[in-house]
Amino acid sequence: MGKFENIDTMLHQALQAIEQANDSAAIENARITILGKSGSFTQLGKILGTLPIEQKKDFGAELNIAKKQIEDKLGAKKEILAEQELNTKLAKETLDVTLPIRDEHQGRIHPVSKIYEEVVAIFGQMGFDIAEGPDIEDQFHNFNALNMPANHPARQMQDTFYIKNPDSDNFDDSYVIRTHTSGIQIRTMEKQQPPIRIIAPGRTYRSDWDATHTPMFHQVEGLVIDKNITMAHLKGCLYDFMKAFFELDDLPVRYRPSYFPFTEPSAEMDIGCLKTKTELKIGAGTDWLEVLGCGMVHPNVLRAGGINPDEYQGFAFGLGIDRLAMLKYGIPDLRTFFESDTRWLKHYGFTPLDFSSMTGGLSNTGGQAR
Ligand code: PHE
């Protein structure tokens, strides 16, 4: 008990008020009624000035001790309340991850998205980065820089969709919706000096329509550039990719000489399979299936991308995602991919919980809605 009864009483009341506050709003209220501008202790402080000199010192000291007690109590109580509030919040927000999903038959991942994930998982583990480029491309990136100058006959190999350039009537200035992802090779070289190791997945467009061709389809471009890169690296990389992708330990492959203006030498890769009237079995048999185009990057392409071909070499490849999906998951007609028929998607799609990874399983076909 101090000398001053009024301090004692008020201290007692204040401590009680703090004790009774049961949430942070109440504790703030209590603080204001005690220490606020017109709070009880602030008022008490004003008495100090009116006291005779001999009492002033003791009163002041006692008041300070009482204030300190109040502040300590406020701090301690605030901490307790904050912890309680956090616990209540955490309890309310608990998510029971063991609960089954509401309707596992709703929603499917499209086979194109699934293959995309698988391809990214495989090349990701090999250390490739992902690059991107625009769907609407200029002719420089889609053709010229890829060793296909205007009037080059190879431009006719691809049935190109052109878009008029609003700023020019000159046909050479018109844009294209990219006929392949190879323009991203140039865009990557423009941004980055070797070593380069990228894949570039994306939509591509050609005027074509039958069971294995649609005007919009998907490709993955690959580009590796460094010192001393050889055709052996290309072969090893793509062989490893195909084995991982088709989830086979052994897969017969062959490289057929081919022609692309932007690679020299160029090749197409075939994988071994068995075709019967009703079935296509990948990995065994006497037939071959073409799966991708590839080759050593042409020196003119390196130059166009700002890379010295006397110092660096590289390889590139382009594969069709849709085609890989048809082969891996036995889907006979490409046009059905883009009809948005939910019955089709239910049949060929994948459950959203089947992630593709090299360690956890690539295709998880067990989860496929069959
Ligand atoms: N761009 C080629 C195509 O669309 C594929 C390819 C890419 C071939 C890279 C060689 C190297 O057919």
> For residue 35, what is the enclosing H or E element?
helix 24-35
- The domain defined by 111-348 folds into BirA Bifunctional Protein; domain 2 (3.30.930)
- Ligand 1 centroid – CA 136 distance (Å): 18
Cα 170 to ligand 1 centre (Å): 27
Q: Where are the domains of the chain?
A: 2-92, 111-348
Q: Contact at 8 Å (CB) between 317 and 311?
A: no
**260 Cβ inside 6 Å of ligand 1:** yes
CA dihedral 250, 256, 260, 262 (to 10 degrees): 60
Q: Taking the model in full, what pTM does it have?
A: 0.72
Residues 6+ apart with CB under 8 A from 205: 135, 161, 177, 178, 179, 215, 216, 217
216 vs 99: which has the higher pLDDT: 216
Quote the Cα angle for 15-34-79, to 5°: 55
Ligand 1 binding pocket includes 295 (Cβ within 6 Å): yes
Atom of ligand 1 at shortest range from CA of 222 = 9
Per-residue confidence (pLDDT) for residue 46, from 0 to 100: 86
pLDDT confidence of residue 104: 62
Query: Over the stretch 156-190, which tens digit does the pLDDT of each residue have?
Result: 767 899 999 999 999 889 999 999 999 999 999 99
Tell me, using a 6 A CB cutoff, whether residue 294 lines ligand 1. yes
Distance 260 CA to ligand 1 centre (A): 7
Question: Measuring CA to CA, which residue among 188, 221, 186 is closest to residue 202?
Answer: 221
Residues 206-213 have a mean pLDDT of 88
Calpha distance 7→74 (Å, rounded)? 17
Asked if residue 23 has pLDDT above 80, the reply is: yes
- In this prediction, residues 122-127 reach a mean pLDDT of 96
Give the distance (Å) from ligand 1 centre to CA of residue 293: 5
Left (φ > 0), alpha (ψ -120 to 50) or beta: where does 127 sit? left
Yes or no: say if 130 and 199 are a contact pair by the CB < 8 Å rule.
yes
Q: Is the pLDDT of residue 313 over 60?
A: yes
Burial (CB count <10 Å: 0-12, 13-18, 19+), residue 100: exposed
| Any atom of ligand 1 within 6 Å of the Cβ of 180 | yes
Q: Is the CB of 316 under 6 A from ligand 1?
A: yes
